[in-house]
Structure 1
Amino acid sequence: MDHPETHHMIVITAPTGQIGGRLLDILLNEAPTRGEQLRVIVRDPAKLPDAVRARVDVVTGSHGDADVVDRAFDGADAVFWLAPPVPQTAPNLDAVYSGFTRAAAKAFTAHGVGHVVGVSALGRGTPVADRAGLVTASLAMDDLIGRTGVAYRALANPTFMDNLLWQAAPIRDHGVFTGTVIADRKAPVAATRDIAAAAAGLLLDRSWTGTGEVPVLGPEDLSANDMARVMSDVLGRPVRYKRESLDDFGAALSGRGFGKEAVEGFVDMMRAKDEGLDDGVRRTPETASPTTFRQWCEEVLKPAVQG
Structure 2
Amino acid sequence: MIVITTPTGQIGGRLLDILLNEAPDRGEELRVIVRDPGKLPDAVRARVDVVTGSHGDAEVVDRAFAGADAVFWLVPPDPRAPSLDTAYSGFTHAAAKAITAHGIGHVVGVSALGRGTPVAGRAGHVTASLAMDDLIAGTGVAYRALACPSFMDNLLRQLASIRDDGVYTDTAAPDRTAPTAATRDIAAVAAGLLLDRSWTGTGEVPVLGPEDLSANDMARIMSDVLGRPVRYEPRSLEDFRAGFAGRGLGDALVEGYVNMAYAKNNGLDDGVPRTPRITGPTTFREWCEQVLRPEVQA
Which of the five TM-score ranges fits, normalised by the shorter chain?
Answer: over 0.9
Aligned equivalents of 2:96, 2:109: Cα separation in 1: 12
Aligned equivalents of 1:232, 1:41: Cα separation in 2: 39
1:76 maps to what in 2?
68
Aligned equivalents of 1:58, 1:265: Cα separation in 2: 33
What secondary structure sits across from 1:212 in the alignment? strand
1:4 maps to what in 2?
none
Aligned equivalents of 2:183, 2:244: Cα separation in 1: 23
Q: Is residue 13 from structure 1 mapped to residue 5 from structure 2 by the alignment? A: yes
1:44 maps to what in 2?
36
List structure 1 segments (4+ residues) > 2 angstroms apart after TM superposition.
Answer: none
Counterparts of 1:129-208 in structure 2, within 5 Å, are 129-208=120-199
Gaps in structure 2 of 5+ consecutive residues? none
Please report how far the alpha carbon of residue 56 of structure 1 lies from its aligned counterpart in structure 2 after TM superposition. Answer: 0.2
Q: Is residue 290 from structure 1 mapped to residue 281 from structure 2 by the alignment? A: yes
Q: Is residue 304 from structure 1 mapped to residue 275 from structure 2 by the alignment? A: no
Aligned equivalents of 1:299, 1:88: Cα separation in 2: 30
Aligned equivalents of 1:10, 1:52: Cα separation in 2: 15
Please report how far the alpha carbon of residue 237 of structure 1 lies from its aligned counterpart in structure 2 after TM superposition. Answer: 1.0
Amino acid at match of 1:183: P
Task: Give deviations 1:41-95, integer Å, cap 9, x for gaps.
Answer: 001100111110000000000001111000000010100000111x222211000
Give the count of matched residue pairs.
298
1:234 maps to what in 2?
225
Q: Is residue 64 from structure 1 mapped to residue 56 from structure 2 by the alignment? A: yes
1:55 maps to what in 2?
47
Task: Give deviations 1:135-159, integer Å, cap 9, x for gaps.
Answer: 0000000000000000000000000
Aligned equivalents of 1:219, 1:47: Cα separation in 2: 33
Q: CA RMSD in A?
A: 0.5
1:94 maps to what in 2?
85
Q: When the two structures are superposed, what TM-score results if normalisation uses the length of structure 2?
A: 0.99
1:209 maps to what in 2?
200
Give aligned-pair identity as a percent. Answer: 79
Gaps in structure 1 of 5+ consecutive residues? 1-8
